[in-house]
């Protein structure tokens, strides 16, 4: 039994939702190279994962048939961990889906929650999160990019969000918009097939090509009142921020697990020389176990909207970025020349690890927020 296998039963059940591990191996694993190299979006897997209950673990009554609520929040991270250990691009899509569900779960108006959340929770409706711009805005990094003008029955939106993920023409997403002529901000749903909205293919990325990432263009796009999630965005952000960031731990944890698996897999043929490398799978496995336990501990307090909990979440998320970078470099060194093959897992994990470190909130963003909270 490998070090990673010994740790899994103690810190992170291998099948957090019945059937997830089997689905990852049977449906996702055969597509991983195609997702990475050809940019294929794994729509079938995403729908099937939702049908198993993969997107409802962190949701309460709004998730319809879910078992969940805050006590099960950690299971959402475990599901993402299991997916990301195989393919972090798909793990990122799972986070996007979960994030959209989290916004709806916390909506001011239960009617918009009831309209869409059951379908987000069971995976029949897929969607993304357009909050990268807003998170940077609230950290005084950039301005909000979409403007709203109030009209009868809703708002008219104009502007462009450069990168929003887990999208396709039949998907939906949420974003935060600036209301013209005021300081007010609104979070609203957008359906990708509604009039006045269009998706534009982004430039080719070096990783995460299969994540359904597009530029989102609003041109006099009408957003009806029935799609408004919140008109009190500061209060909403206070409720959702810790959960939103903590769920990202699933990407980093899964990626580190995948790197450990690569290192363990090289032992039979390269162990006699890899033993001279500074980083060994046992030390990474110990740090991974600690990070998993810390994640589950914070998940149990996710109903706390205090700055203290948010600072703890940010600090843990920062450590996950650093651990992912460290693990991917170690996996590449253990793989050696084999890691340079175009379909080699090691070089894919290396590229994916940089995404863990730069996806919003990036390392520099995390440090800025920790300084603001006096927790740096």
| Residue 89: C-alpha distances to residues 58, 78, 254 (Å) | 21, 16, 11
**Could you tell me the residue ranges of all domains in the chain?**
3-126, 129-232, 234-372
Choose among 170, 163, 80, 105: nearest CA to 129: 163
Look at the pTM and tell me if it is higher than 0.95: no
The CATH homologous superfamily to which domain 234-372 belongs is Butyryl-CoA Dehydrogenase, subunit A, domain 3 (1.20.140.10)
Could you please state the CATH topology (level 3) that the domain comprising 129-232 is classified under: Butyryl-CoA Dehydrogenase, subunit A; domain 2 (2.40.110)
| Residue 352: C-alpha distances to residues 207, 275, 328 (Å) | 6, 25, 9
3-126 and 234-372 share one CATH topology?
no
Vertex 55, ends 299 and 217: CA angle to 5°?
105
Please name the residues in contact with 102: beta carbons below 8 A apart, sequence gap of 6 or more.
58, 59, 240, 243, 244, 247
* Side-chain half-sphere exposure of 346, counting CA atoms within 13 A: 19
Choose among 374, 256, 241: nearest CA to 321: 256
Written as tens digits, the pLDDT of the chain (376 aa) is 443 343 343 344 456 788 999 999 999 999 999 999 999 999 999 999 999 999 999 998 545 444 444 448 999 999 999 999 999 999 999 999 999 999 999 999 889 999 999 999 999 999 999 999 999 999 999 999 999 999 999 999 999 999 899 999 999 999 999 999 999 999 999 999 999 999 998 878 877 889 999 999 999 999 999 999 999 999 999 999 999 999 999 999 999 999 999 999 999 899 999 999 999 999 999 999 999 999 999 999 998 999 999 999 999 999 999 999 999 999 999 999 999 999 999 999 999 999 999 999 999 999 999 999 997 6
**Strands (E) located in the chain:** 127-129, 146-151, 154-164, 172-179, 185-191, 197-201, 214-224, 228-230
Please tell me what DSSP assigns to residue 134. Answer: H
CATH class of 3-126: mainly alpha
């Amino acid at each position: 039994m490998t070090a990673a296998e010994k740790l899994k039963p103690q810190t992170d059940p291998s099948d957090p939702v019945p059937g997830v591990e089997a689905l990852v191996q049977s449906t996702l694993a055969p597509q991983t190279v195609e997702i990475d190299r050809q940019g294929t979006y794994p729509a079938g897997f995403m729908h099937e994962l939702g049908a198993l209950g993969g997107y409802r673990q962190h949701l309460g009554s709004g998730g319809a048939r879910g078992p969940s609520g805050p006590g099960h929040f950690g299971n959402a991270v475990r599901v993402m961990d299991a997916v990301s250990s195989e393919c972090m691009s798909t793990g990122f899509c799972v986070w996007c889906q979960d994030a959209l569900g989290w916004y709806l779960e916390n909506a001011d108006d239960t009617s918009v929650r009831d309209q869409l959340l059951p379908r987000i929770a069971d995976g029949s409706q897929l969607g993304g999160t357009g909050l990268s711009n807003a998170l940077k805005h609230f950290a005084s990094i950039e301005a909000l990019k979409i403007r709203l003008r109030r009209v009868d029955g809703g708002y008219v939106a104009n502007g462009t969000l450069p990168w929003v993920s887990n999208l396709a023409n039949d998907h939906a997403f949420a974003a935060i918009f600036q209301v013209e002529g005021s300081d007010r901000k609104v979070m609203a749903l957008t359906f990708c097939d509604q009039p006045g909205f269009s998706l534009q293919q982004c430039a080719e990325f070096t990783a995460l090509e299969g994540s359904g990432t597009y530029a989102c263009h609003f041109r006099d796009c009408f957003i009806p009142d029935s799609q408004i999630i919140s008109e009190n965005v500061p209060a909403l952000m206070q409720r959702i921020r810790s959960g939103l960031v903590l769920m990202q731990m699933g990407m980093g944890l899964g990626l580190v697990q995948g790197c450990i698996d690569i290192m363990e897999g090289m032992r039979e043929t390269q162990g006699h020389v890899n033993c001279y490398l500074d980083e060994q799978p046992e030390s990474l496995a110990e740090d991974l176990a600690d990070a998993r336990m810390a994640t589950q501990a914070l998940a149990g307090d996710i109903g706390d909207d205090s700055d203290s909990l948010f600072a703890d979440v940010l600090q843990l998320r920062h450590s996950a970025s650093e651990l992912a970078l460290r693990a991917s470099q170690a996996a590449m060194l253990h793989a050696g020349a084999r890691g340079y093959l175009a379909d080699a897992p090691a070089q894919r994990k290396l590229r994916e690890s940089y995404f863990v470190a730069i996806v919003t909130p990036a390392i520099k963003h995390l440090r800025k927020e920790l300084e603001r909270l006096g927790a740096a």
